[in-house]
Amino acid sequence: MKHIYLNLKRFDVPTEFGGVNRIAAIKDWAAYIITNTQEELRKYNTNEVEFAMYFPEVHLLEAAAAKTTGSPIKIGCQSVYRADVSIGGNFGAFTTNRPAAAMVGAGCETTIIGHCEERNDKAGVLAEAGIVDPDAINRILNQEIKCAIDRGMTVLYCIGEKSEEQDQWMEVLGKQLEIGLKDVDTSKVVIAYEPIWSIGPGKTPADKEYITKIARFVKEKTSGMDIVYGGGLKQENAAMLASIEEIDGGLIALTRFQGEIGYYPEEYLEIVRLYMNGGM
């Protein structure tokens, strides 16, 4: 099965505040995205490809309400907290955090966990205490994954190595998989590979040979789990990624990288079309 994910990060921030939202007013933003993509996505067989969109928390109710009957879009949140609400236990003492129970209650079916930006945030908190411990980050993410799955959600689990970790990529990715997926029902998880060292302006994107090498390693390490390219599925690389047998889809963020950069639904649909048609 193929998987096409969309991480909308904080693309809801208006341009006058330094953001990249040019498509709709904040109150209409999520509904605009759903209503301008779901009908076109219906032409794809949902037994062959899944579409998930990860919204900032404030937009989840609006996104879920905009879905029509039989919509192919799965609404997702951007990670969950490492602990959850429980009957007879903690019923909501989670100020600033998003327990999985609340996310499912808001209409989420899936979540993205371990994105490089989430890993950086956790590393920054540890650094304030003078601690550098990537394994601790993986253990926290493991708790988040379990909370999400226990609530019936599926998980997109992101792994990746930084430039200073490239020489040890096998050890770094191996630990992220081994610790992050410890005692997890992996049938509920898809892996997203982010080559952190190659993402961003002025950096050289990972090529087909490198991505294939990583995908084969992940499949071998995980007994064949699905893996998508998390370094950015876009028009320029859709054909290349579609040609890699070991890659099962991609994660989209920005759809336009020059001029009025940002996310645009019509460009998202073109990326989907290109990938599903092998770049044609």
Active-site residues: which are they?
115, 194
Give the other-Cβ count within 10 Å of 94's Cβ.
15
Q: From residue 200, how far is each of 231, 232, 238 by CA, in Å?
A: 9, 10, 18
Region of 168 please: left (phi>0), alpha (psi -120 to 50) or beta.
alpha
Give the other-Cβ count within 10 Å of 6's Cβ.
27
Q: If residue 113 lies in a helix (H) or strand (E), which one and from where to where?
A: strand 110-113
Q: From residue 62, how far is each of 30, 153, 215 by CA, in Å?
A: 6, 19, 35
The widest CA-to-CA distance across the chain, in whole angstroms, is 55
Amino acid letter, 18? G
